[in-house]
Amino acid sequence: MHFAHAFHVATVRGTTDQLPAGYPEALARAPSMPLLDIERAIALVVTGRVDEARAIYDGVVRRLPLPAEHQTWAAGLLKLSWLIVAFDDPVAAQLTYRQLLPFRPYPGALGTCTVYFGGTVSRPLAELAAVFGDHALAEELFREALVRNQVLGAAPDVALTRLGLAQLLHRVGGPPALDEAAGHARAALNMAVELDMPGTVAAARALAAQIAAGRREVDPLTAREREVAILLAGALSNRQIADRLVLSERTVESHVRNILAKTGCANRTAFVARGANEHTPQ
């Protein structure tokens, strides 16, 4: 149980720095059964021995669906969900999703004994749905999980849910989705820092950087250039733009040059015409 708690903490925190000495020997001595095999594979993944973990994982998923009469089957499936996401296995995701789906109406935590309790089952269901490609269902489940985990006070699961939702929205793309994804990524990062979850901190920071890069690709203009561009599209002169924005005319000239270069327009006349075409009904 000591090692089981340690592995659970390692997966929640996303780091192995607190794994106790002797865990490889403890795993080697443990009998073979789905739950313990899953624990073995998780321990191998978090310590970087992915090929060994994959061999064990493949043996477990061949046994899906797990027999429901075994008292640890639900805990095993919840743990297995972590591996399914790590290995991006859509077939196993669908099988495990179907087995866990009956627990969705239950808003509380699901677990066996005390080691395997987490937040609402809606979050692993969302992660599984994302793996087998139903993004609409995954988004619905992530939003459901966020509300439930906040009510439960399951703070680590709130951070992980926000990160999962942000990752999903980032894949969906588009300015509104990216805006919301950025907000969830920031919230996940702040919570993860406070809760000492280094893995989530690193993932949220990386995602925030990707979202920022994506936004630059969607709209290459800076905030100030966007303000100038709106007035430029209205055919205002540099002097008029300078007066409107309380800038020097030379500063406006510099912004206009940057705007034309970034938008691929030869001159301001072409930029104005392009703006008119974008707003003309087809």
Residues 180 and 118 in one domain: no
13 and 137 co-located in one domain: yes
Looking up tokens 């030379």 gives 250
Q: Which sign, positive or negative, has the C-alpha torsion 132, 137, 143, 147?
A: negative
| pLDDT mean by block of 10 residues, the chain; 282 residues | 80 84 80 86 88 95 87 84 96 96 82 64 96 96 96 93 96 80 94 94 93 71 87 90 92 92 87 61 34
Are 53 and 123 members of one domain?
yes
Q: Which tokens hold the place of 67?
A: 């027999």
pLDDT in tens, 175-187: 678 889 999 999 9
Residue span of the structural domain in which 175 resides? 154-219
pTM for this model (two decimals): 0.75
Amino acid letter for position 175: P
**Looking at 94, 122, 149, which one is the last position of a domain?**
149
User: Of the candidates 170, 192, 219, which is a domain's last residue?
Assistant: 219
Task: Name 6's Cβ contacts closer than 8 Å, sequence gap at least 6.
Answer: 18, 19, 20, 23
Number of domains in the chain: 3
Distance CA 19, CA 29 (A): 17
Number of alpha carbons in the 13 Å side-chain half-sphere of residue 73: 14
Report the CATH number at residue 104: 1.25.40
| Residues 112 and 6 placed together within one structural domain of the fold | yes
Residue 109 and residue 74 share a domain: yes
Only one residue has tokens 């805990």, namely 75
Residue found under tokens 């309380």: 246
According to DSSP, residue 105 is labeled: T
